Each structure stands twice: as C-alpha cells, then as structure tokens.
Structure 1
C-alpha cells in the first residue's frame, strides 16, 4: 500500500508541477508561439507509463485557463495523451537516454498538429504554418526539458 500511495503522490506532484510551471509562464504557454517548459514532463513517459496520466491530467487542468477554453481542454489534452502514450510504447525499453529523449520529443509532434487544427477551427489560422511554429516551440521546450530531466535522472529514479 505504501508503494501505491507513493506512486499516486508522485503522479499528483507531476500534474501539479505541470500546472504551476505553465501558469507561471502563461504569456509563453498559450497561443501560436508557445514555449511551455512544463512540456519537459513529457519525457517522463519514456521511463514509466504512470507519467502518461500524470502529465495528461496536468494539461487538462492548466488548459482550463487557456484563452481557447474547452476546445483547448479537448485538443490539447488529447494531443498530450497521444504523445505520451507513443513515448511510452516506443521508448520505455530503450536504455540510451539520448535516444529516449529524442523519441519523446518526436512523439509530441502529432499533438502539435491537433493544437494547430484547434487554432484553425477557433481562430481560422492556416493549419500548416501554425503547425510548424508550434512544432518548433515544442522541440525547443522538449530539448531544454531533456537536459533538465537528464540532470534530474542522476538523482531521481524515474523508472520506479
């Protein structure tokens, strides 16, 4: 029971950290040009599947505050669920951290397409230019996040 409680608590902490970091950086967290440093938590799905739900819940909660409202809660959360699930499926058995992080980064790209589609529907923005701008911001966030998660992985066992 202690182990289960610890897993639930650590997942709740990840979701809460996602929300706090995103809201602290709100001007960069919403819109076409995004640099959501909280996206670093997507890398955790490469270590353990429980982080899929933790990060997805964080996205769902923080997107309540999105200027796009319920549509962002739907598309953004679905994109994260897809990206983190793909990350887990493709990367959880890989031991090389560089490849783990690269896979996690690339797995977020389908989610960026969903966000671009959302912005096309809501704000009539062109899908493909919007996608590329979002994808570049996501890649930057994930690369910065890879460095942070790598450094943290020296002290924290994300596999547990």
Structure 2
C-alpha cells in the first residue's frame, strides 16, 4: 500500500516542494561534511555527488543540489572560488541533465545520461576551477603536478577527479535507481 501512496498522481504543495529541496540540500551537505577529508582537492571522493542523478527526475533537484554544494563548499580550502564556481558548475551540469532527460522514461537511461553529463561537463568545469585557482595563487590551491601550460594543468586536474566522481556516480546511480522503483522522484 505504501508503494501506491509513493507513486500517486497527487501533486505536491509548494511547502512539500521547498521541504524536498531543503532535505536534499542538507543530505548533500551532511554527506560531504562527514567525508570532508576526502571530499575536497584534486583527488577526491565526494560520495554526495551520487545525488546529482536526481536532477534527471525533477528540476527542483537542480536548486537542491546547487544549495547543497554551496553549503558543503563553505568549508572548502578554496573558499570563495569553490562557493561560486563549484555551485555554478553544479547548477550548469544538473540543468543540462534535466534538459536532456526530461522526456526520457527509463530510469537506467536517465542515470546513464546523468553520469555522462556529470563526468564530462561537470568535471571539466571543476578542472577549470582548480586550474584557475592554482594560476591566481588562491589560498588553498594545489598544484596539478603538470609541467605544461594551462591545457596540461586542466587535463591533469580533469583526470585526477574522474575516478572518485565515477565511483560516486555508480554508487549513487544504484541508490537512485532503487529509489525510483518505489518513489516517484518526478513529484
């Protein structure tokens, strides 16, 4: 019976919508805070990134994830750079995910599309943020390990963040897929 309630066609109220945004933002931030030593830097495992798949079901999750990233990044070693560019990158990549999946019915297809967008566009933006921070000598910036120019630095950062991101997306994809089978994530 609970499954039928979760999958009902009753629209949610504005209060419920705001509550869902707040809950997802809080979950993202809390997961990031708990694994803080691993959640920042050029080699990171930010498990909360698995929640990015939610944007494939409802545009409210774009706001929720952007807010969650902003809150989590308040403790980032990069400070304002991560507050601005980390949040902006999340809003861009989850917005693209929503746009590309809004007519897709298959949960697996949504997760695959989301994974491709986040691991390419999202991580490209993050690598650009790290390259920018390092080249302006921002507090908390870290070297890329590359002896080349800007492109080589960007590539070094990009390839350093991909493994952790893919791991987070796989775990998150499994969790979100399972949730999508019992809860209507589009509501």
- Corresponding residue pairs, total: 160
- 1:16 alignment partner in structure 2: 26
Unaligned segments of structure 2, at least 5 residues? 1-10, 135-142, 145-152
CA distance in 1 between counterparts of 2:16 and 2:72 reads 23
Q: Within the alignment, does 1:118 sit opposite 2:129 as a pair?
A: yes
Deviations along 1:17-56, one digit per CA (max 9) or x if unpaired, are 0000001011111001111111121111100111100100
Contact 2:115 2:169 in 1 (8 A): yes
CA distance in 2 between counterparts of 1:103 and 1:156 reads 20
What's the offset of the Cα at 1:155? 2.4
Considering fraction of residues, name the structure with more helix.
1
Rg comparison, structure with higher value: 2
TM-score, structure 1 as length reference: 0.94
Query: What RMSD, in angstroms, separates the aligned Cα atoms of the two structures?
Result: 1.5
Given the alignment, which residue of 35, 50, 60 partners 2:45?
35
Contact 2:35 2:46 in 1 (8 A): yes
Q: Describe the SS at the equivalent of 2:18.
A: helix
Unaligned segments of structure 1, at least 5 residues? none
- 1:100 alignment partner in structure 2: 110
What's the offset of the Cα at 1:154? 2.3
CA distance in 2 between counterparts of 1:158 and 1:65 reads 30
Bigger shift: residues 119-128 or 76-85: 119-128
